[in-house]
Structure 1
Amino acid sequence: MGASLFLAGCSDDVGVDQHGQKVAVERLEGQWLVINYWAEWCAPCRTEIPELNALAEQQKDKGVKVLGVNFDGLQGEELSDAVDKMGIRFTVLAEDPAARFELPRSEALPVTYIIDTQGKVRERLMGEQDAAGLTARLASLRKGE
């Protein structure tokens, strides 16, 4: 079965990114996903972003994809401007993937979800994360694959 099963019936993409480019499902299949919800007004988000940038860079060839989602639902140029202001270098989805991955809504930020290669939520991490901690969590979860 595998990752294609959890994406079956979904559209061929997961919306667009902060640059208006389509994010194809194929780019996410078979990957561990680290999905972080952030907002410009969230102080811990601001200090967490460089850590997520580092994680995305460290893990890019290791089957892990870091994705961001703007908590306030910014779109188009507003989203692109916010991403630039926050210094985000990883993919930010314009469309909230919560329904696709059955993510519970969080009223607190930042919140980060770790999703396995089958599309199953494995962790919900509240509060500011760092690259080392996320790398350790991923390593621990992947041992069970």
Structure 2
Amino acid sequence: MVKRLQSARRLVMVLVTAALLAGCGDDVGVDQHGQKVAVERLEGQWLVINYWAEWCGPCRSEIPELNALAPELAKQSVGVFGVNFDGLQGEELNKAATALGIEFTVLAKDPAERYGLPPSDALPVTYIVDDQGQVRERLLGEQNAEGLKARLAALRQDS
């Protein structure tokens, strides 16, 4: 009887560990407000991922464009996400995003590894990722809403 209980306990521990490890792959972290970002917000849809920093003048100029674009693109199953280039976290990230007036979701966890985003030494940089998780475009420099919509439409038509 004791051996059965030990075997059952080991099995339960293995299953719990496997479940926890399986969930780690889907961790996309939190946003600038500390709220968990559901993996469903990133997978199965097109993404516009914009890297910004407080010290970047062109970043400051394009943020209102991205703010206006985010709700419009959400209706087309396209998510607009920001990532702080300097890796700010927690309250620092929240303060920086608030100071710049960012209304779209800022990811505290950089998705570069998840999507194979190539590193960039210049800002701003915006990546367009398709609904299969493949990087389709790297746009260096300040973007505007009309230009991003046009690029997205062309890329989506090609897929």
- Separation in 2, partners of 1:48, 1:63: 21
Instruction: Give the corresponding residue for 1:71.
Output: 85
- Separation in 2, partners of 1:134, 1:104: 19
Q: Aligned to 1:14, what secondary structure does the other structure show?
A: coil
Pick aligned residue for 2:117 from 103, 111, 120: 103
Q: Count residues with an aligned counterpart.
A: 138
Q: CA deviation at 1:10?
A: 5.8
- Separation in 1, partners of 2:23, 2:37: 16
Which has the higher relative contact order, 1 or 2, with Cα contacts under 8 A spaced 6 or more apart? 1
Divergent runs of 4+, >3 A: none
1 or 2, which has the higher strand percentage? Answer: 1
Structure 1 residue identity aligned to 2:93? L
1:88 aligns with 2:102: yes
The answer to whether the 8 A contact 1:112-1:126 is kept is: yes
- Compute the RMSD of aligned alpha carbons: 1.3
TM-score by length of 2: 0.84
- Separation in 1, partners of 2:107, 2:95: 14
Q: Structure 1's 24 and 13: CA in aligned 2 closer, same or farther, altered over 3 A? A: farther
Q: CA deviation at 1:120?
A: 0.1
TM-score by length of 1: 0.91
When Rg is computed on C-alpha atoms for both structures, the one with the higher figure is: 2
Q: Structure 1's 93 and 55: CA in aligned 2 closer, same or farther, altered over 3 A? A: same
1 or 2, which has the higher helix percentage? Answer: 2
